[in-house]
């Protein structure tokens, strides 16, 4: 996985990996530990681990961590697939099938195929290109993606045991302890030649250079669709029966969608958090990831508010219109599907350090959407700055704040 090491980049924190090695006497892979805790290496120092162990039978975590601490860190990884079969011709044929499918959705430079050194292949789809965000839920997301692709392509050799939170992955460029072949990144022309050519290429350790990656909106959208499907499936499993048993049909209230008008002056005057973040972007040319999510949650309801959001973000040195638009579209799409995309509450904004620090807004009753109708509950929701951002447009063009 190729991630920029520039400290100004958000993902540069994700540089730590667990390490392990194959122990011949035990015929198994054992994690390195010190004082009964996992040993971590910075990816920049991984060659030290190679040198200590003669680069034979080595493994690293498939995940990168933002801290050398398994309990408090968050995972980041490229979307990955493991194709393994006792018959190498099967895993090779299915590797080609999967590879050709993936490069129809993702730029070819971001789809990496490794021969593992014996009878299998690893395919990795670069996290930066797909716009994968750090999350400890990635193992579940990747398993879901793999399940859907297996069904579509009828893959028999796809291994699902690899989708767990502590998965170890043979280190690229290391020698397989049984065959003496190296886990190498396979060039396109050799991959499409033959198994014999692949094995010949892996008799020596190659450079295994991975190009610098760029976010790709099309690939990101392809990946996000899997996430939407997964979250919709979760929503279907929720049991609303208990709610109706408690409140009955009287809980239903008619709700009509109304057009909204963006009211930037009212928002800036009413919400110090938005005002402060806007000024911070102007003064420092930088906003934390959580600050951007907060702004996106408030400013993604109308065309005018989205333009206003881009205006704030464009002050940042790392502003990328295409990437920002993808994040905004994701927020809108989640809201449309009923699987998220809701505005930050003042409480949430304060808890993650992007709020104003205090809030005196009154609470309102929470609404739950069922089909095309809304149910008003007795539960009070936390106030949100979104109430300052828009006014409803009445018939005749009048607005109602």
Half-sphere exposure of 315 (CA within 13 A, CB side): 17
Report residue 237 as tokens. Answer: 């499993």
Select the more confidently predicted residue: 356 or 358.
Answer: 356
User: Average model confidence (pLDDT) for the chain?
Assistant: 90
CA 77/CA 62 separation, integer angstroms? 7
Confidence label for 127 from pLDDT (cuts 50, 70 and 90): very high
CA 96/CA 189 separation, integer angstroms? 12
CA 321/CA 329 separation, integer angstroms? 12
CA 389/CA 376 separation, integer angstroms? 22
- The reported pLDDT for the residue numbered 131 is 95
- Please determine, for residue 243, whether its predicted confidence score (pLDDT) is greater than 50: no
Task: Report the range of poorest mean pLDDT among 39-48, 216-225, 353-362.
Answer: 353-362
Q: What is the pLDDT of residues 290-327, one digit of tens each?
A: 999 999 999 999 999 999 999 999 999 999 999 999 99
Confidence label for 394 from pLDDT (cuts 50, 70 and 90): low
Confidence label for 6 from pLDDT (cuts 50, 70 and 90): confident
CA 167/CA 209 separation, integer angstroms? 23
Rounded to the nearest 10 degrees, the angle between the axes of helix 289-298 and helix 272-284 is 130
SS3 321: helix
Neighbouring residues of 92: CB distance < 8 A, sequence distance ≥ 6: 121, 195, 198
Report residue 254 as tokens. Answer: 């008619």
CA 370/CA 240 separation, integer angstroms? 9
- Please determine, for residue 135, whether its predicted confidence score (pLDDT) is greater than 90: yes
Q: Helices (DSSP H) in 135-255: which residue ranges?
A: 138-153, 188-191, 195-201, 217-236, 241-247
- The reported pLDDT for the residue numbered 4 is 86
pTM, 2 dp: 0.84
Confidence label for 358 from pLDDT (cuts 50, 70 and 90): confident
Confidence label for 250 from pLDDT (cuts 50, 70 and 90): very low
- Please determine, for residue 254, whether its predicted confidence score (pLDDT) is greater than 70: no
Number of Cβ within a 10 Å radius of residue 300 = 21
- Please determine, for residue 217, whether its predicted confidence score (pLDDT) is greater than 60: yes
CA 198/CA 95 separation, integer angstroms? 13
Q: What is the pLDDT of residues 185-205, one digit of tens each?
A: 999 999 999 999 999 999 999
User: How large is the average pLDDT for residues 281-289?
Assistant: 95
- Please determine, for residue 246, whether its predicted confidence score (pLDDT) is greater than 60: no
Task: Of 105, 85, 91, 95, give the one whose Cα is nearest residue 192.
Answer: 95
CA 213/CA 6 separation, integer angstroms? 14
């Amino acid at each position: 996985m190729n991630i920029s090491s520039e400290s100004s980049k958000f993902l540069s924190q994700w540089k730590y990996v667990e390490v392990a090695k194959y122990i011949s006497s035990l015929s198994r892979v054992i994690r390195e530990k010190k004082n009964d805790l996992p040993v971590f290496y910075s990816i920049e120092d991984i060659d030290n681990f190679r040198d200590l162990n003669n680069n034979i039978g080595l493994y690293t975590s498939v995940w990168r961590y933002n801290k050398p601490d398994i309990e408090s860190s968050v995972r980041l990884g490229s979307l990955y697939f493991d194709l393994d079969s006792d018959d190498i011709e099967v895993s090779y044929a299915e590797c080609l099938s999967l590879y050709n499918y993936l490069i129809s959705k993702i730029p070819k430079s971001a789809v990496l195929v490794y021969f593992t050194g014996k009878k299998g292949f690893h395919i990795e789809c670069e996290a930066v290109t797909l716009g994968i965000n750090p999350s400890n839920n990635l193992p579940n997301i990747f398993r879901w993606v793999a399940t859907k692709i297996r069904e579509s392509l009828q893959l028999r050799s796809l291994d699902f045991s690899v989708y767990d939170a502590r998965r170890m992955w043979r280190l690229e460029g290391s020698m397989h302890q049984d065959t003496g072949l190296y886990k190498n990144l396979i060039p396109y022309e050799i991959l499409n030649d033959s198994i014999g050519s692949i094995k010949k290429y892996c008799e020596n350790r190659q450079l295994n250079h991975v190009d610098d990656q760029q976010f790709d909106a099309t690939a990101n959208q392809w990946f996000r669709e899997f996430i939407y499907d997964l979250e919709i499936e979760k929503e279907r499993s929720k049991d609303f029966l208990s709610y109706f048993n408690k409140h009955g049909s009287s809980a239903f209230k008619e709700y009509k969608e109304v057009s909204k008008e963006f009211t930037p002056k009212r928002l800036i005057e009413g919400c110090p958090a938005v005002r402060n973040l806007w000024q911070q972007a102007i003064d420092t040319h930088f906003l934390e990831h959580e600050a951007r999510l907060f702004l996106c949650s408030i400013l993604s309801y109308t065309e005018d508010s989205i333009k206003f959001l881009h205006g704030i973000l464009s002050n940042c040195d790392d502003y990328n219109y295409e990437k920002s638009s993808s994040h905004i579209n994701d927020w809108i799409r989640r809201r449309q599907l009923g699987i998220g995309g809701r505005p930050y509450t003042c409480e949430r904004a304060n808890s993650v350090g992007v709020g104003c620090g205090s809030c005196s807004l009154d609470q309102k009753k929470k609404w739950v959407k069922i089909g095309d109708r809304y149910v008003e509950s007795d539960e009070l929701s936390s106030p949100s700055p979104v109430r300052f951002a828009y006014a409803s447009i009445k018939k005749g063009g009048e607005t109602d704040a």
